[in-house]
Amino acid sequence: MAVSQIKFYYKNVTAEVIGAEHGITDSQLKELAEKTTPLIAQLNTERKAGKTPYRDLPFNEQIPAHVMALADELRPRCENLVVLGIGGSALGNIALQTALNPYMYNLDDSQRRGPRLFVFDNVDPAQFASFLDWACDKLDKTIFNVISKSGRTAETASQMLIVRKMLLDKLGPDGFKNQLVATTDPGAGTLRKIADEYGLKSLEVPEGVGGRFSVLSAVGLFSAAMCGIDIDGLLAGARDMDIRVSDTEFFKNPAAINAAVNFHYYKRAKRISVMMPYGYALKDFADWYRQLWAESLGKAKTLTGSKVHIGPTPVKALGVTDQHSQVQLYREGPNDKLFTFLQVDNFEKDVQIGPAPDCAAELDYLAGKDLGKLINSEKTATEFALLKSNRPCVTISFDRVNPYTIGQFIYLFEVTTSLAGGLFGINAYDQPAVELGKEATFALMGRAGGENLAEQIKPFARLDERFIV
Ligand code: PA5
């Protein structure tokens, strides 16, 4: 196992640090270990039985080979890569790019290792129009990667239809065929049908892997590979984390402890889980985590069908920025949150602070120090302040942010989610509540078969004058 392992630090949830009212006592930790240990074994068994296909992604050699072959083919003629997708078909792509490519990647050619990357996970017309105005005379150098497992998601389908028309109008049928890559179900669905009909290049969302667990499949790997990210490093990190999170010894298993700590606090009225990265690179992983946690754990029923309406609320914050917007609430508001800090020990690059002018000697203490020291001091300072207010905190620290450590992080949180699902007694892999909104959109947009639902929506859509001021 390579040296740079991410570390999970949980002393700051213990009663020893924040007191017995809010902290976890030794006996509570022992109880959590007893409750969680069988779930680790159960998950390992389910995995062997093929019930958690996401866990096999880092070991699949065909996916990266296929992704790399397509990336090698397309990169020479691609200056702009546009991902069209939403939810699990977009958040991982965004998070990988922010984490593993420089901040100015799109704007500074000297910092780019591949095409510019744009990910559209919304249907805001003004945003999309602005992009299309820019891209319309660059279409021959632009590849569109449409990602949709189902192939029928209204947002992604609409974007795809807009782009298809534009490609057909500007470049003809070959343009549509050559500039579009479809990532979708291997055998079924609307996008697969279109890909087959028009001979589009395509990649697969493996069977049984839900969107939010798919970043280590072609869904996340293709844009990463196109943009010069070492996808083998990502997968190696996930494989090495697989060993750690399969360990049936609770106190050696970071996913088990993380799931158990979250479960403990949920049951004790701390139902908000704040992820706060101290490092811009990790910012969008807080977004990715938010979807993973919310869609997986927010459920109405247990596995046995009892009504529970359960699930912690994930919140993203960014250190140091949100110290100046959220920390007042986090320290003095209700003690109803668990904080997960993400810390980076060594930044890819550091910047030294310049000398203070003579008239501002009070700034001397900053002069000559690195920004890396400042951001990490602020993390320690904020955590210290939260602990002084008896707020529980855990930290995941990265020696460095690189593909290998990011692969570990992704896999750690995916397995943490599965184990948390076991503790909450719910199905972590479905999302039934998302469906009604999707069906209602279809109905409002006039899809055949949605007439009845459209009628049901009318009274809610019609504004009641009595309540308008
Ligand atoms: O995690 C999920 O399953 C969802 O967020 C989906 O990824 C999202 O709804 C998009 O679905 P699809 O990939 O089918 O277009």
Tell which one of 54, 83, 89 to mutate to probe ligand 1, the residue whose CB is within 8 A of the most ligand atoms.
89
From the list 324, 349, 458, 465, the catalytic residue is 324
- No. of H helices and E strands in the chain? 16, 12
- Is 212 near ligand 1, meaning CB less than 6 Å away? yes
Alpha carbon distance 57, 53 (integer Å) = 7
CB-ligand 1 contact for 277 (6 Å cutoff): no
The per-residue pLDDT for 392 is 98
Our answer on whether the CB atom of 156 is closer than 6 Å to any ligand 1 atom is yes
d(CA 39, CA 298): 19
Active-site residue flag, 324: yes
Q: Is 92 in the pocket of ligand 1 (CB under 6 A)?
A: no
Q: The tokens of 333 are what?
A: 């508001």
Cβ(93) – ligand 1 distance below 6 Å: no
170-to-18, 138, 174, 175 alpha-carbon distances in Å: 64, 10, 10, 8
- Look at residue 435 in the predicted model and tell me its pLDDT: 87
pLDDT at residue 128 in the model? 98
| Per-residue exposure over 362-387, b if at least 16 CB sit within 10 Å of its own CB, e if not | eeeeeeeeeebeebbeebeebbeebb
pLDDT at 79: 98
Alpha helices in 247-370 (DSSP H): 254-267, 283-297, 327-332
C-alpha distances (whole Å) from 95 to each of 171, 223, 236, 294, 317 are 32, 11, 18, 17, 15
Can you read off the two tokens belonging to residue 96?
Answer: 């990988």
Give the pair of three-digit tokens for residue 155: 């947002």
CA 215 to ligand 1 centroid distance, Å: 12
Task: Give yes or no: 73 in active site.
Answer: no
Contact by Cβ (8 Å): 317, 391: no
Residue having the nearest C-alpha atom to atom 9 of ligand 1? 87
**149 pocket-lining for ligand 1 (C-beta < 6 Å):** yes
Question: Per DSSP, which regions of 288-404 are E strands?
Answer: 299-301, 307-310, 313-316, 337-346, 393-400
Q: What is the pTM of this model?
A: 0.97
Atom number in ligand 1 closest to CA 210: 3
Question: Does the beta carbon of 14 sit less than 6 angstroms from any atom of ligand 1?
Answer: no
| Distance (Å) from CA 53 to ligand 1 centroid | 16
Take atom 15 of ligand 1 and give the residue whose Cα is closest. Answer: 148
295 has catalytic annotation: yes
SS3 at position 276: strand
Q: 361 alpha carbon to ligand 1 midpoint, in Å? A: 55
Give yes or no for residue 192 CB within 6 A of ligand 1. no
Q: Whose CA is nearest to atom 5 of ligand 1?
A: 87
Q: Does the beta carbon of 150 lie inside 6 Å of ligand 1?
A: yes
Q: What is the pLDDT of residue 340?
A: 98
Kind and range of the H or E element at 433?
helix 432-444
Asked if residue 319 lies in contact with residue 382, where contact means CB atoms within 8 angstroms, the answer is yes
Q: Which of 46, 378, 438, 439 is catalytic?
A: 438
Token representation of residue 421: 């699902």
- Which position among 295, 299, 337, 414 bears the catalytic label? 295
Residue 342, strand partner residues: 277, 396
Ligand 1 atom showing the smallest separation from residue 90 Cα? 7
pLDDT at 319: 97
Angle between helices 218-226 and 231-246 (to 10 degrees): 140
For ligand 1, pick from 149, 155, 159, 205 the residue to mutate: most ligand atoms within 8 Å of CB. Answer: 149
Query: pLDDT tens per residue, the chain (469 residues)?
Result: 556 999 999 999 999 999 999 999 999 999 999 999 999 999 999 999 999 999 999 999 999 999 999 999 999 999 999 999 999 999 999 999 999 999 999 999 999 999 999 999 999 999 999 999 999 999 999 999 999 998 989 999 999 999 999 999 999 999 999 999 999 999 999 999 999 999 999 999 999 999 999 999 999 999 999 999 999 999 999 999 999 999 999 999 999 999 999 999 999 999 999 999 999 999 999 999 999 999 999 999 999 999 999 999 999 999 999 999 999 999 999 999 999 999 999 999 999 999 999 999 999 999 999 999 999 999 999 999 999 999 999 999 999 999 999 999 999 999 999 999 999 999 999 999 998 998 999 999 999 999 999 999 999 999 999 999 9
DSSP E strands in 59-197: the ranges are 80-84, 116-120, 142-147, 180-184
Cα torsion through 59, 63, 66, 71, rounded to 10: -100
Q: Is 211 touching ligand 1 by the criterion CB < 6 Å?
A: yes
